Amino acid sequence: MWAVDFASAGIDAPLDILAIAAHPDDVEQTCGAALLRMALAGYRTGVLDLTAGDMGSRGTPELRIEESNAAAKVLRLAWRGNMRWPDARLENTISARMTLAAEIRNLRPRVVILPYWEGRHPDHYKASEIGYESCFLSGLRKLDEETPPHRPAQILYASLYANVAPSFVVDISDHFERRMESLFCYQSQYGDSSQASDLFPAQAEIRDRHAAIARFYGNLIGVKYGEPFVVKETLRVDDLTTLGVQSL
């Protein structure tokens, strides 16, 4: 387990929002701008990556962690950790759930963002499942008598790569460029190196692709760029006049 505290508040201060992801650079593609927006609004945000991407064809796990550290600063994260579990072989075991539940108890996030529960890469949907079940375990008093239970109030699923209608979209028009900057901190993955270069499109192409996706979701709420999320529960509304929708 590797972790860095970027904020002066220290590890003892609970996180407001924790994103749990399979690989370093996942959050930078799916919900990094929303995290940045929340950090700029004064919330303590964190990211816990489950693997260090050791099966990637470029770079080393140590380099990926170093790059994720640089990306964390761009996204103004208060905290970032990496479980160093094996890449491309994530397994939802009791030991994985217990370890992650203990980490959730340490970090005490109010909101947890998980990857969408279906996807092409098994690590992504496994991370979603392990994340959800660990959040549940973390709330059980008798799990570990030494640490107080903690159950996050909300679980949101970052659904950018899932072809599903989002429950809501966050306006990231002012934060999209910074998110791209955080993604390009992963020089070993997105730099113009010759090694394995046939697998990776050039940076301009990558930026275009991300801009098109963000533009699509932004368009759904009438803004330039957006990041989509799904919740399994129904959103509660108290005031019909302040819904964030524009019908006409």
Interface residues with Zn ion (CB under 5 A)?
Answer: 22-23, 26
User: Three-state DSSP class for 125?
Assistant: helix
The answer to whether residues 31 and 142 touch, using CB atoms and an 8 Å cutoff, is no
- The least distance separating Zn ion from the CB of residue 188, rounded to whole angstroms, comes to 15
CB of 77 to Zn ion, least distance (A): 18
Q: Using the minimum distance from each CB to Zn ion, give the nearer residue, 27 or 137.
A: 27
Specify the residue, 126 or 175, whose C-beta has the smaller distance to Zn ion. Answer: 126
Nearest CA to 40 out of 8, 74, 12, 64 is that of 74
Other beta carbons within 10 Å of 247: 4
| CB of residue 129 to Zn ion, shortest distance in Å | 15
Q: b or e along 202-212 (b: 16 or more beta carbons within 10 Å of the residue's beta carbon)?
A: eeeebbeebbe
Question: What single DSSP character describes residue 240?
Answer: T
The closest residue (CB) to Zn ion is 23
Residue closer to Zn ion by CB (options 22, 112) is 22
Alpha-carbon separation of residue 125 from 94, 158, 206 (angstroms): 17, 11, 23
Which CB sits closer to Zn ion, 125 or 132? 125
CB of 23 to Zn ion, least distance (A): 4
Which secondary structure element, helix H or strand E, spans residue 228, and what is its range? strand 226-230
Judged on CB neighbours under 10 Å (0-12, 13-18, 19+), 43 is middle
CB of 41 vs Zn ion, minimal distance in Å: 27
Q: Which is nearer to Zn ion, 26 or 171 (CB)?
A: 26
Cβ of residue 73: shortest distance to Zn ion, in angstroms?
Answer: 21
Least distance CB 53 / Zn ion (angstroms): 8
Give the nearer residue to Zn ion in terms of CB position, either 82 or 138: 82
Residue with Cβ nearer Zn ion (105 or 115):
115
Residue 177, C-beta contacts closer than 8 angstroms, at least 6 positions apart: none
Buried b (16+ CB within 10 A) or exposed e, 215-245: eebbeebebebbbbbbeeeeeeeeeeeeeee
